[in-house]
């Protein structure tokens, strides 16, 4: 069945626009949504503040290595609000940041390289310090993560490259009010970019390329004004995977808005991959137990399984019971206060109330859109699809069964998809992250005016997004 | 942030409680007095010199991504504490003053998802531990065990 793209309904557009509202209009800048159709992503942040005096010894500016020999020494010497400028070079450091409102910037994204030598844990780890911005540098060969924020209110990562890391490339955990932009992430067994345990997250991920990871993006129990937009997820085991599970707090995963991305060829058999990446292999955008996600105007093609899948996640050894629908409304902080209740057995996290609208899908060989469960009546889960350009769905005629803008009709058993069969499959095994074959690291776009732009701590993020202006990207050449 | 402030308060309280309970057993009054007046909450109170045998009791601490649950625990001396990595990531259990886990604790190469580690706390005291990958002794993934006299 071939369907044409239709414009999103006004109500949907309003809803999406509301989701993208910045939290503090008075203090934020506006970055127009990038509607580029190319797989490379352009600059979207402009800055009109006057240039600072970044000469050696200037107040509030610490140059590495001229003023301090290492990035860590500079961080330790810095006061909140300072700008740390890092000169080109290789830095064998695992930097811990516990001072708020710092801006840590490389002078050249491709030549400021933090190298963990397969021995150090994280390139830069921000522990509980809100407002820290990390800009314009590369992290490679870290046992855990390239760039890692945890427990912060306010974070930004801009023009960052994470390559060959043992857990995640860019990782924001238990953190809210963030902006991740112009990221390149490759070679992580879990996810190139991971945002976890936040609700509401109030975070934007944009202008990113994530490839040859276990998952291009993973977001366990993350959502609430969380936008994944204008990015490319290709050649991972699976592309964009919001998911629920009790292996971290703040379940379930809710309310991620996924718009304007190019998601293709996520069947890559030779990446490092954790177990869930192996299980999810061959899917473009996969809600694994996700709730109320909006998946709109993406281009999704060339997948062995689904282009967009709304499926359950079976958690075999859970730490808590399933949250009630009333508990879905709790904030992350509220839900943390609930006691854990050891369940009697495995949990099945179904995907509920997701909306799939206006996407362009092609050559997704098990179904352009798949909606499935493993025991629940899938017709009762509240997922819907409308206005997508596609060839076939499972169950068949999904847009008739469950339109987003009306009452559905038809037989949900017609073309019912057996998602449980995935558990019996044997995908190509994980490859050691230290030795996996990756695309050669190419020079990545530099931050404009790195040497002269003023400190810009992450106190005004996320930047506002005009979701209505985002259109379906064109297929790359 | 609020959670960790609460945790720090709890830990400060736990440290004070433990110090007080340990005073009678520790002959070094000057050392105890010094610890009682500390304003830094996150201090591992040295265990007392009195050692108690295993009491057959066991309790569990989950290491999930990236939290210890519970992150504050009180047990009687002689109790076994079993740490279970039920997350999807590697973790470790490391006393801040003992990074090689010579006294107790487990490093991440031996604490992957699904792994367990147990230790029987035989001496009263307050034991702070951290997952060094995902926290520090003052923030993120850390916890405390207060071991009381039976």
Q: What does the pLDDT look like over A413-458, one tens digit per residue?
A: 999 999 999 999 999 999 999 999 999 999 999 999 999 999 999 9
Q: What is the CATH number of the domain that holds A90?
A: 2.160.20
Give the highest mean pLDDT range of A11-15, A94-98, B23-27, B37-41.
Answer: A94-98
Tell whether A350 lies on the interface with B, counting CB pairs under 8 A.
no
Give ipTM to 2 decimals: 0.82
Which residues of A are less than 8 Å from B86 in CB distance?
A: 247, 317, 319
Predicted pLDDT of residue B6: 29
- By residue range, what is the domain housing residue A77? 10-469
A228 neighbors A203 (Cβ within 8 angstroms): no
Question: In DSSP terms, which residues pair with A300 in a beta bridge?
Answer: A263, A361
Which residues of A are less than 8 Å from B89 in CB distance?
A: 167, 190
Confidence of residue B49 (pLDDT cuts 50, 70, 90): confident
- For A128-132, what is the mean pLDDT? 98
Contact A151 B139 (CB under 8 A): yes
Confidence of residue A344 (pLDDT cuts 50, 70, 90): confident
Q: Is pLDDT of A382 > 80?
A: yes
The DSSP element (H or E) to which A257 belongs, if any, is strand A256-259
- Interface subset of A 143-172, CB within 8 angstroms of B: 144, 150-151, 153, 167
**In terms of C-beta density within 10 A (0-12 exposed, 13-18 middle, 19 or more buried), how is residue A119 classed?**
exposed
Better pLDDT: B38 or A109: A109
What is the percentage of chain B residues whose pLDDT exceeds 90?
Answer: 65
Chain B interface, mutation test: which of A150, A218, A275, most B Cβ atoms within 10 Å? A150
- For B48-72, what is the mean pLDDT? 94
Least trusted range by pLDDT, from A52-56, A234-238, A247-251, A441-445: A52-56
- Residue A5 falls within a domain, yes or no? no
- For A32-59, what is the mean pLDDT? 41
Find all residues with CB under 8 Å of B58, minimum gap 6, and list them.
B79, B80, B81, B82, B118
Q: Is pLDDT of A235 > 70?
A: yes
- Interface subset of B 75-134, CB within 8 angstroms of A: 86-90, 114, 132-134
Predicted pLDDT of residue A380: 97
Distance CA A88, CA A282 (A): 39
Q: What is the CATH number of the domain that holds B7?
A: 2.60.40.420
Q: Which residue of B has its CA nearest to A196?
A: B65
A458 neighbors A179 (Cβ within 8 angstroms): yes
Contact A150 B135 (CB under 8 A): yes
Q: Is pLDDT of A73 > 80?
A: yes
The total of structural domains in chain B comes to 1
Q: Which residue of A has its CA nearest to B69?
A: A340
Distance from the Cα of A102 to chain B's closest Cα (Å) equals: 18
The total of structural domains in chain A comes to 1
- For B37-56, what is the mean pLDDT? 68
Q: Is pLDDT of A277 > 90?
A: yes
Better pLDDT: A340 or A37: A340
- For A329-342, what is the mean pLDDT? 93
Distance CA B14, CA B126 (A): 8
Q: Which residue of B has its CA nearest to A334?
A: B3
- By DSSP bridging, strand A355-357 and strand A294-296 are parallel
Contact B1 A247 (CB under 8 A): no
Predicted pLDDT of residue A343: 81
Mean pLDDT rounded to a whole number for chain A: 90
Q: Which residue of B has its CA nearest to A316?
A: B86
Confidence of residue A134 (pLDDT cuts 50, 70, 90): very high
Q: Is pLDDT of A259 > 60?
A: yes
Q: Is pLDDT of B10 > 50?
A: no
Cα→Cα distances A445→A104, A109, A437, B31, Å: 17, 8, 23, 58
Predicted pLDDT of residue A465: 98
Q: What is the DSSP letter of A198?
A: B
pTM comes to 0.84
Q: Is pLDDT of B19 > 80?
A: no
Confidence of residue A139 (pLDDT cuts 50, 70, 90): very high
Better pLDDT: A35 or A143: A143
Q: Is pLDDT of A183 > 60?
A: yes
Predicted pLDDT of residue A5: 28
Contact B88 A247 (CB under 8 A): yes
Better pLDDT: B96 or B45: B96
- Residue A475 falls within a domain, yes or no? no
Distance CA A137, CA A169 (A): 13
Distance CA A136, CA A106 (A): 5
Contact B135 A319 (CB under 8 A): no
Predicted pLDDT of residue B138: 86
Q: Which residue from A118, A271, A253, A116 is spatially nearest to A190, judged by alpha carbons?
A: A271
What are residue A205's phi and psi, to 5 degrees?
-115, 120
Mind listing the pLDDT tens digit for each residue in B129-139? 999 999 998 89
Tell me the helices (H) and strands (E) count for chain B, helix number first. Answer: 2, 7
Q: Which residue of B has its CA nearest to A152?
A: B1
Distance CA B49, CA B63 (A): 29
């Amino acid at each position: 069945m071939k369907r044409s793209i239709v414009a999103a309904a006004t109500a949907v557009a309003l809803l999406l626009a509301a989701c993208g509202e910045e939290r503090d209009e008075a203090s934020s800048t506006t970055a127009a949504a990038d509607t580029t159709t190319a797989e490379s992503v352009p600059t979207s942040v402009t800055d009109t503040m006057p240039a600072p005096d970044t000469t050696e010894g200037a107040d509030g500016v610490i140059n590495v290595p001229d003023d301090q020999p290492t990035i860590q020494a500079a961080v330790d010497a810095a006061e909140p609000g300072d700008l740390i400028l890092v000169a080109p070079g290789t830095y064998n450091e695992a930097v811990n940041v516990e001072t708020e409102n710092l801006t840590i910037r490389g002078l050249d994204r491709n030549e400021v390289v933090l190298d963990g030598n397969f021995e150090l844990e994280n390139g830069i780890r921000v522990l509980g310090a809100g407002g820290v911005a990390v800009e314009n540098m590369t992290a490679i060969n870290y046992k855990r993560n390239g760039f890692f924020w945890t427990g912060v209110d306010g974070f930004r990562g801009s023009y960052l490259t994470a390559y060959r890391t043992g857990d995640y490339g860019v990782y924001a955990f238990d953190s809210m009010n963030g902006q991740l932009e112009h990221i390149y992430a490759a070679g992580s067994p879990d996810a190139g970019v991971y945002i976890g345990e936040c609700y509401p997250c109030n975070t934007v991920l944009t202008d990113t390329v994530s490839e040859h990871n276990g998952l291009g993006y993973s977001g366990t129990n993350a959502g609430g004004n969380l936008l994944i937009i204008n990015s490319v997820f290709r050649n991972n085991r699976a592309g964009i995977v919001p998911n629920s599970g009790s292996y971290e707090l703040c379940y379930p995963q809710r309310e991620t808005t996924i718009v304007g991305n190019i998601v293709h060829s996520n069947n890559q058999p030779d990446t490092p991959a954790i177990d869930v990446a192996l299980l999810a292999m061959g899917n473009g955008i996969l809600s694994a137990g996700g709730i109320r996600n909006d998946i709109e105007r993406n281009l999704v093609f060339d997948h062995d399984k689904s282009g967009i899948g709304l499926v359950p996640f079976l958690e075999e050894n859970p730490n808590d019971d399933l949250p009630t629908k009333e508990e879905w409304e709790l904030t992350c902080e509220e839900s943390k206060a609930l006691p854990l209740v050891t369940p009697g057995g495995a949990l099945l996290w179904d995907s509920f109330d997701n909306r799939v609208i206006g996407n362009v899908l092609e050559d997704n060989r098990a179904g352009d859109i798949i909606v499935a469960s493993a025991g629940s009546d899938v017709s009762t889960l509240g997922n819907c699809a409308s206005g997508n350009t596609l060839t076939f769905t499972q169950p068949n005629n999904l847009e008739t069964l469950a339109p987003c803008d009306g009452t559905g009709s038809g037989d949900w058993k017609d073309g019912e998809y057996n998602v449980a069969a995935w558990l019996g499959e044997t995908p190509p095994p994980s490859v050691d992250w230290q030795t996996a074959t990756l695309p050669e690291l190419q020079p990545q776009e530099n931050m404009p005016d790195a040497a002269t732009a003023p400190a810009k701590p992450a106190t005004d993020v996320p930047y506002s997004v005009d979701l209505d202006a985002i259109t379906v990207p064109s297929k790359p050449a | 942030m609020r959670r960790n402030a609460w945790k720090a308060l709890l830990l400060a309280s736990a440290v004070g409680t433990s110090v007080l309970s340990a005073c009678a057993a520790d002959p070094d009054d000057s050392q105890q007095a010094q610890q009682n007046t500390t304003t830094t909450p996150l201090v591992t109170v040295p265990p007392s010199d009195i050692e108690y045998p295993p009491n057959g009791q066991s309790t569990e601490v989950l290491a999930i991504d990236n939290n210890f649950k519970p992150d504050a625990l009180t047990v009687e001396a002689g109790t076994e504490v079993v740490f279970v990595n039920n997350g999807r990531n590697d973790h470790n259990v490391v006393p801040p003053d003992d990074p090689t886990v010579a006294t107790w604790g487990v490093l991440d190469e031996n604490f992957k998802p699904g792994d367990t580690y147990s230790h029987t706390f035989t001496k009263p005291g307050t034991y702070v531990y951290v997952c060094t990958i995902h926290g520090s002794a003052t923030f993120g993934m850390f916890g405390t065990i207060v071991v009381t006299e039976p």
